[in-house]
Amino acid sequence: MNKQHLFFLCILSTAPLLLSACAQPESSAARHAKHLTYASDDNFDPNYRTKLYDSYQSSIPFLQQFWELGKKDRAAAITQAQQQQRIDEFKSQAFLTRINGKEHFAGKAYNSYSHREQKWRQAMSDAIIQTYMDGYNGIK
């Protein structure tokens, strides 16, 4: 084996180690916040721009509370019926309209999500339920 082949083999063997060291595993809340942010981004109005990273970062603590709730419910050993009742509550429109947040548009802050469309409500409900189930099942 000549020196070029040995050098090339050395590079090939160390590159995956270096690249895998840079990858940090995300928490369940972070994974679902990222999916929620991209799923709810409409991009249909050229006058409206979503700050994806800011939305992602602000969604993590919001979803983290549902992960903690799932973990707490698992520790309390709730029944399957109680768990399904909690999931049904997360799917309800009444629950989703109670979620408070702020949106900034044209220099004004708005506190209501009532104008959000069904696509956003479905994405939010899915993210909450999946994060809750990850907490319940012990998935970090």
pLDDT tens digit string along 23-76? 557 889 999 999 888 887 766 566 667 788 888 898 999 999 999 999 999 999
Band (pLDDT 50/70/90 cuts) for residue 19 is low
132: Cβ contacts below 8 Å, ≥ 6 apart: 66, 67, 69, 70, 86, 87, 90
Which of 16-20, 49-53, 69-73, 87-91 bottoms out in mean pLDDT, i.e. has the lowest?
16-20
Band (pLDDT 50/70/90 cuts) for residue 114 is low
Q: Is residue 21 part of a domain?
A: no
Q: Is residue 14 part of a domain?
A: no
d(CA 43, CA 47): 9
pTM, entire model: 0.73
Q: Is residue 3 part of a domain?
A: no
Q: Is residue 44 part of a domain?
A: yes
Backbone angles phi, psi at 15, to 5 degrees: -60, -45
Q: Is residue 9 part of a domain?
A: no
d(CA 55, CA 41): 10
Q: Is residue 6 part of a domain?
A: no
Domain assignment of residue 54, given as a range: 26-137
Q: How many domains in the chain?
A: 1
